[in-house]
Amino acid sequence: MNIITVNVGQGAFTIVRHNKEAIIVDSRIPPADNNTVAYVKEILAVSLKEHNVKGLILTGFDSDHCDIVGTSIVLLKYRPDWVMYPMYYKNSDEAKAVFKLIREQESARRNSADPLKQVSVRLDRLTHRQLTGLSSNFDFELFSPHIDDMDSSNNCSIVLKLTGKGTGGFSYLITGDTENGRWEKINSFFGKSLKSDVMAAAHHGSKNGTHPASILSIEPNTVLISAGVDNQYGHPDNQALAVYSRTAKHVHCTNVDGGVSLITKAIPGDFKTESIPS
């Protein structure tokens, strides 16, 4: 199993691979020149060679995690079996365009050999946190969103543990843009159930997405931060980096060396993350 955190600037686009299956998490491609789109297409082509894309997880519908260009590439070229998103309504042009594409693809593939399934998730609507029937090689455990705390688009983000089954698998916590108020509730309910080998830093390394008690419960070996070079928000925040570094053995960010993609692999007794030049 390995995780490829794609350098898409101030956004999120991740590929998780295990036993010839792949899950794509978020689909942001920043509005830049055609070189940006070409780069993402190239890294997808290389990373997904000989892998079956089982699903696309959109942690939220804010444009830094989901846009129509990235979603179109994934749905039209790689034709995942399902697309997962949080159960809430985002009233923005970008979100409307993405929902329209999802509905169109579901309709177009309805009577085909590979229909597209929509998986809309919210914790209070589910009997169990475990989501089944999505993959032969991954387990899915949902921790958020919940109707009690859906007070902003950030706190509607999906928080989900994705675990590779069998030899070589490990756990990866997907966090979206979840903020500290929601983390307080998540940690109070689930505590050590959050424990994961690797985690994506919430909200691009913002201090408002870095909840110390939750980090202690997650107890990550490795933290992966997707943030833009010289971004206007100052992500990752120095306080957030300090919190992560007190618990995690490794902390890596895409905004170093002019921007890099990251590939994270398990090695005996540890995890190793290498840079892929952009």
What was the pLDDT predicted at 244? 98
Residue 265: pLDDT over 90: yes
Residue 35: pLDDT over 80: no
| Residue 251, CA atoms < 13 Å, CB-side half-sphere | 18
What was the pLDDT predicted at 34? 65
CA distances from 102 to 19, 21, 23, 137, 152 (A): 27, 21, 17, 24, 23
Residue 32: pLDDT over 70: no
0.85 exceeded by the pTM? yes
What was the pLDDT predicted at 169? 97
Q: Residue 119 belongs to what H/E stretch?
A: strand 117-121
Mean pLDDT, the chain, rounded, equals: 95
Confidence of residue 33 (pLDDT cuts 50, 70, 90): low
The C-alpha angle 151, 155, 157, rounded to 5 degrees, equals 135
Residue 21 belongs to domain spanning: 2-277
What was the pLDDT predicted at 278? 67
Total of domains in the chain = 1
What CATH code is carried by the domain that includes residue 6? 3.60.15.10
130-156 residue pLDDT tens: 999 999 999 999 999 999 999 999 999
b/e string for 145-184 if b means 16 or more Cβ within 10 A? bbeebbeebbbbbbbbbbbbeeeebbbbbbbbbbbbebbe
